[in-house]
Structures are given as structure tokens and as C-alpha cells.
Structure 1
Amino acid sequence: MGAYLIATDEAGYGPKLGPLVVAATAWHVDSQVLSDCTLQGSLEDAFALLRHPVMHQGVKLVIDDSKAVYRPRSSGPEGGSLSKLTAAVGIAMNWVSDSPSLQVTQWIDSSDRRDIDATDWLGESCFEMHAESSVAVPEPWRTSSVRLFNVATRVITAGRFNQMIASGMNKSDVLSDATLGLVRQLLPKQSSESPLPADDPIIVYCDRHGGRRYYASVLQHVFGGELVRVMSESKHVSAYSVPYQGREFRICFTVKGDRFTPVAYSSMIAKYLRERAMESFNAYFAEYHTGKQPLLPTAGYPVDADRFLEDVAAIIKRRKIKPVDLVRVR
């Protein structure tokens, strides 16, 4: 008996500049899913091979929370390198598709792609990968009892984020709405499209959304209004059973959920897209910078974002950039 597993995580929830990115990965697991969210036994064991480092095209790669894999520029001479994240994304491209023409942008929601193209400091080209970045799946991973077969992402620009806030949503609502929309997209359909037998269980793992602890109402709203059964709403995990399209799935929001390998993989994909977006963001403002000193790039977090906005104030005025399109209100 196998299982259908969806894992989600975000990058960019805290910053005030740049997009909020959410990624979801869908997996087939050749093992019995447990009846709770403790991540013990066969489910966690199924991902053991992905937790061990592999050398891949000169990169020592291990699937882990993106904050452990990616080192920011301020951390030292090796900081800012996207090599490990690029390798992980390149492998994912091969794992989910035999087509060499697959681009990362195909994983991005179509409405977000329109927003990206309408944003001067972004554009879809900033997410493109070179052909050589799409690399073969390491043999230990390919022979494991898990298989990655789909990826979906949201890249929510600051302008779109602010529109969602203006509509009455709070910051946690934005994250939950984006995340659960991806889950709904990746749930198996009741048709021959599904890669799994109809009776295989479905389980979804998410890192907890900020400090949010209660999710029943938003789950009912996103998944058609049927009664959601609360299984746990403790300090460490919020778990629910959700009826949807004639089936039920279990969804768990856990503290430090990115310790679980498939959630960590989603974290790495989200981080890759976020960092590529910030590269494009910083390059745009550097191009129009006329000061005597080079413009220091920003990762978009609040204190440094304020410094950066002060440094580029003349560019914002000259380019007639609307603050609502640039700076998140939350």
C-alpha cells in the first residue's frame, strides 16, 4: 500500500520587499502512512536516502530546510551562492518531467506570472534556468521508495500582496490562501490522471503559518464548505481530516515542519525562486543608481529594507514607482 503526500513551505513571509513565495511538492510514497502527524516509522524512513548528502555535478547536496542549505551574502565569502538550491531545483525538473523543455516558470501560477511580467524589476526571465541546470536524479534517490511527480508554486508580488491585504485579509490569511490553493491544485483527481490507486491515503504536511494555530474555517472555505474534522490543535501540531470531492485527506500544520524532508524540498524550491527574484530586484535598482558609492543589495527584511528604500528614494521618484507596488504593508 502506498500514499499520496503533498508538502508545502514558504520563503519571504517576513520581508517587506520582494515577493512571498510558496511551493508545494507532490510525492508517491511506497509505504503505509501513519494515522497521525508524529513523523515516526515508515513514512519518515521512506525519505531517509534524501537526507544523506550526495555529490552531484561538483555540488554536495542534501535536502534540508533552505535556511540551513543557503547561506546569505553576509555570512562570508561563500555566502550568496545558489548552487545547492539550483541543483535541487534542477533535479526536481527532471524528476517530474521527461521533457527537456520544462522551465521553472511552468510551476508558477498563471495569474502570478502576469503580475511578474507587469513588474519592472521582475519578469519571467529572472527565473529561467540554463539547460545544464536540469540534471539527472541521483541514483540513490531514484531507487528509493519515494517519487516526486509534481511541483506547483505561488510567487506573490508586493503589489498583489497589498491588494489581498486591502481586500480584508491579514498576513496569515494570504499565506494560508496561497498554500491551500496549491494543495487543492495538487490533490489527485478522480480520473485516470491520478498516479495512485483510488484507495491510497492522502496526507498533506505544512510548516505552521506564522503563529496561526486554528485552520478549520479556512480549510472549509477553500475545500468546498464540507465539515472539517479537528484531530488536534495543540502547541506543536494542528491536524484535520478534510472531505473533498468524494475523498478525505489529512492535513497537518506543524511547528518546525521543514525538518520533514518533503517539506524541506518545498522550502528549497521556494527559496530558490525568492532569491532569483531578489537578484532581479537588486539588479534593477543598481542599474538606475547614480550615487558615488555602489548600491548595497537587500534581502528585503524590515530594518535593511528601510535602509535600501532610503538609498533608492531618488530612483523611486524618478521612475515614478508607486509605493504600493514596491513595499508590502504587512
Structure 2
Amino acid sequence: MVFHQVDSSRQIIIGMDEAGYGPKLGPLVIAVSAWSMPKRLTVEDLWTQLDDVLTNKLASRDKRLHVGDSKQVYSSTKGIASLERSVLSLMAACQIRSLNLTEPAEFFTLLTELLGKGLPASFSRQPWYDSCSISLPLKARLIELSEGLIQLNRSFQKCELQLEQMQVDVVCPERFNSLIQQYGNKSEVLTRLSMALVKDFIPPKSVDCQVLADKHGGRSRYLPYLLDAFPDRFLLTERESQEQSRYRDDSLSLSFSVKSERFLPVAVASMTAKYVREVCMEAFNRYWKLRTPEVKPTKGYPVDAARFRQQIDRSWEELQLPESILWRDR
């Protein structure tokens, strides 16, 4: 990971979050957003610094980008347009190459770039991804995204802030089930995958870095996983409680907190993970609607997932694929 213009007067802030931890259908998505900013600013300052372009409390007729906990920005009743407008504008500000805002983008091309190392093999074994093309944006307008990008760039320049990188890990059911068999429970899988994703974003020891993340289930002790991910670091435990677990060495601090989406970098990661999962579910539902016209779309959560699984049963049997490709064990 290369950070631009990072010197002794600047610091790196990394936010991390997930979407899709609870469903039985569709992927678990983990996302990070990595920022560089002057040391004179704190992460709490970012909402004020970017108040002219971002808000976490969107009011009627407010033209700013809505950024916050993905559950506040998006719901089935609200629709995806606001979430999409914010996420794609931020991706454009991050200079995601496959998103130029002059024409629609192909989702799986964008996803390949966000994954950093290409689509995992499990994607090609899922016909709902392999046979589907999704054009973005789904609901937002390109002109809105272009306007959002202009405003973001102006505000970033004013406060000397840079959104350096956005990246995701998409864990489809087949891989998820395999990891559950290996590690025994979902919390263990989430923590290990999160550490594997974030470790590539940690800058050299000469650069101050702060990692902010939500709690992983009920876990309060993260030090063994951190020592495994960062073997060259001498991390000490500052606090371990139900509200927050915090660790640090001379230049790196890591915090796992309840309601961490109150921090802008975590909120952006939360929304990115949610958006990627929602578009994956859009592809999934489109595929099954073609094969089983009477089936209603699903978000994949347990009760509705069981309904959906029953409705597609005949079509699923025709595919003659392993159940692990479709259904999560936990």
C-alpha cells in the first residue's frame, strides 16, 4: 500500500466495518477506507472539516452526501439511491479507475478493482454472478455523482485531507462455510478476515497510524490476532471492555468500539460494505427471478432466506450444485 504525500506532519486513519454478518444467503463483505490527514486534526474533527459536503444527519432538501452507519443511510423503504450517491462519489474521489462518471460502470469490473487481487474463484462457481452484468449506478444519477466528486475534491483540498484507498473482501457462502469448519464460529472468522484485510494498509513505523473498527460480535480480546497479523510490532493493551478494546505501540493504535460508525472513516467503510453486498444481492435476485418468475427478492436474512430457499427449490435442484455454494451453515 502506497500513501501519497505522507510525511512526519501527516497521519493515516483507517476505518473498517462489515455488512452481511447475519444472513444465510449472499456474501459477507468487509471493507476498509484509508485516509491521510495533517496531525493537527483528529478523527473527531472530520465531520466539522467536511460539513459543507458531508452530513451524518441528513435533513429534508439537504444536498450534502449522507454518510453514517449504513443502517441509517439505507433501508428497503428508503431505497438505495442515497447510499449509492455517497459511496460512488467517495470511490470517484479515491480515484477508482473503473469509475469515471462519464458513463455507467460495470459492477464486477469495479469489484475486481476494489478487491485488489481479482475476483475469488468462488465467484465463477456461482451462476448468479458468472452470468450477470450489473450496470452502475442503479438509482443515483451520474450528474449527481459528478457534482458530489467536485464538492468532495474541493473540501478535501481545503482541509488537506485525502481518501487514499477503499478496498473490500467479499466472502461468498462457499468460502464462509469452509472458514467456519476451520475456525468454529462466525466471530473468529470475521476477526481473522478483518486482520488479513487491514494489515496490508498499515504504513511504515515512521508514519503514525490509527485503525478504528466496530466490535466483532461480543469479542473483547483482540491482542492474539493483532500479534499474529503484525509480528514486527510490540503492541500493548490499553483497554479491554464491553464498550472498547484498544491497543498501541509507538506509532500504531487500534481500537474496536461499540458504535464506531460515529467516526467518518468507519462510516465510509460501513457504507461501502453495505453497498457492495446490496449490488451482489441485486445480481442474485435478478438471476433467480429469471429462473423462478414467481419468487420475491430476498435480503438473505434467516427467516426470509428460508422462504426464498423453498421457493427456488426446484430450480436449485436442476443446477446440481453443492448446497454450500448457496447456503451458509451459520
TM-score (norm 2): 0.81
Compare 90-99 and 281-290 and name the one that shifted more.
90-99
Distance of 2:232 and 2:201 partners within structure 1: 19
Compare 96-105 and 159-168 and name the one that shifted more.
96-105
Give 1:173's aligned residue: 188
Give 1:195's aligned residue: none
Per the alignment, in what secondary structure is the counterpart of residue 86 of structure 2? helix
8 Å Cα contact 1:126-1:276 kept in structure 2: no
Distance of 1:15 and 1:132 partners within structure 2: 31
Superposed CA deviations along residues 69-96 of structure 1, whole A, max 9, x for unmatched, are: 1121xx3xxx4x3212222222223212
Give 1:71's aligned residue: 75
Give 1:26's aligned residue: 34
Structure 1 104/111 Cα, relative in aligned 2: closer, same or farther at 3 Å? Answer: closer
Q: Give the Å deviation of 1:26.
A: 0.4
8 Å Cα contact 1:109-1:155 kept in structure 2: no
Per the alignment, in what secondary structure is the counterpart of residue 17 of structure 1? coil
Give 2:16's aligned residue: 8
Distance of 1:44 and 1:132 partners within structure 2: 25
Distance of 2:25 and 2:96 partners within structure 1: 36
Per the alignment, in what secondary structure is the counterpart of residue 183 of structure 2? coil
Distance of 1:285 and 1:250 partners within structure 2: 45
Q: Give the Å deviation of 1:264.
A: 0.7
Structure 1 unaligned regions, length at least 5: 191-197
Per the alignment, in what secondary structure is the counterpart of residue 180 of structure 1? helix
Distance of 2:223 and 2:90 partners within structure 1: 32
Corresponding position: 1:90 with 2:105: no
Give 2:316's aligned residue: 316
Aligned length: 302
Corresponding position: 1:228 with 2:235: yes
Per the alignment, in what secondary structure is the counterpart of residue 110 of structure 1? coil
Supply the RMSD in Å over aligned alpha carbons.
2.9
8 Å Cα contact 1:93-1:104 kept in structure 2: no
Structure 1 171/53 Cα, relative in aligned 2: closer, same or farther at 3 Å? Answer: closer
Structure 1 46/253 Cα, relative in aligned 2: closer, same or farther at 3 Å? Answer: farther
Give 1:193's aligned residue: none
Give 1:194's aligned residue: none
Structure 2 unaligned regions, length at least 5: 1-8, 101-108
Corresponding position: 1:282 with 2:279: no
Structure 1 46/29 Cα, relative in aligned 2: closer, same or farther at 3 Å? Answer: farther
Give 2:302's aligned residue: 302
8 Å Cα contact 1:47-1:146 kept in structure 2: no
Structure 1 312/277 Cα, relative in aligned 2: closer, same or farther at 3 Å? Answer: same
Percent identical among aligned pairs is 29
The one-letter code sitting in structure 1 at the alignment partner of 2:22 is G
Q: Give the Å deviation of 1:214.
A: 0.8
TM-score (norm 1): 0.81
Structure 1 45/61 Cα, relative in aligned 2: closer, same or farther at 3 Å? Answer: closer
